[in-house]
Chain A
Amino acid sequence: MLDVFFLSYNEPFADEHYELLQLVAPHAKRVHGIKGIFNGHKECARRAMTKNFYVIDADAILEPGFEFDFEPEWHQQDHIFVWRAKNPINGLIYGNGGVKLFPTKIIREADNWLIDFTTSVAGKFKPMSQVSNTNGFNYSPFSTYKSAFRECTKLASKIIHNQKDEETETRLHIWCTVGADKPYGKDGMRGAKDGKEWGLKYRNNPEMLDKVNDFEWLREKFDK
Chain B
Amino acid sequence: MIPVYSAYSKLTKRFGYDSYMLKAFKLHHNKLKDALSDGQINSKLWLLDKIKGLDLGMVFICAGWYGTLATMMFEDENVYVDKIRSFDLDDSCWKIAEDLNEPWKADDWKFKATTLDIVSFFTYMLKEKSNTNGEYHYYTTNVNGEPRLCHEIPDTIINTSCEHIEKFTEWFNAIPKDKLVALQTNNYFDLPEHVNCVKDINEFKQQAPLRNIIYEGELELEKYTRFMLIGYK
Contact = CB atoms under 8 A, between A and B. Distances in A.
B232 A178 contact: yes
A69 B72 CA distance: 28
A220 interface: no
Main secondary structure on B side of the interface with A: strand
Nearest to A86: B55
Size range of the chain A interface in the assembly: 10 to 19
Contacts of A178: 212, 232
A91 interface: yes
Contacts of B53: 84, 92-94, 167, 171
A86 B57 CA distance: 11
A171 B212 CA distance: 13
Contact of A91 (B54, B77, B212): B54
B54 to A, nearest CB: 6
Contacts of A86: 55, 80
B63 interface: no
B22 interface: no
Contacts of B224: none
Interface in B38-90: 53-57, 77-78, 80
Contacts of B77: 129
Contacts of B57: 91
A131 B80 CA distance: 9
27 contacts: A84-B53, A86-B55, A86-B80, A91-B54, A91-B55, A91-B56, A91-B57, A91-B180, A92-B53, A92-B55, A93-B53, A93-B54, A93-B55, A94-B53, A129-B77, A129-B78, A131-B80, A167-B53, A170-B214, A170-B215, A171-B53, A173-B214, A174-B214, A177-B212, A178-B212, A178-B232, A181-B178
Cβ-closest 4 pairs across A and B: A91-B55, A129-B77, A93-B53, A177-B212
Given A91-B57, A131-B80, 10 more contacts: A86-B55, A87-B55, A91-B54, A91-B56, A92-B54, A93-B55, A129-B77, A129-B78, A170-B214, A181-B178
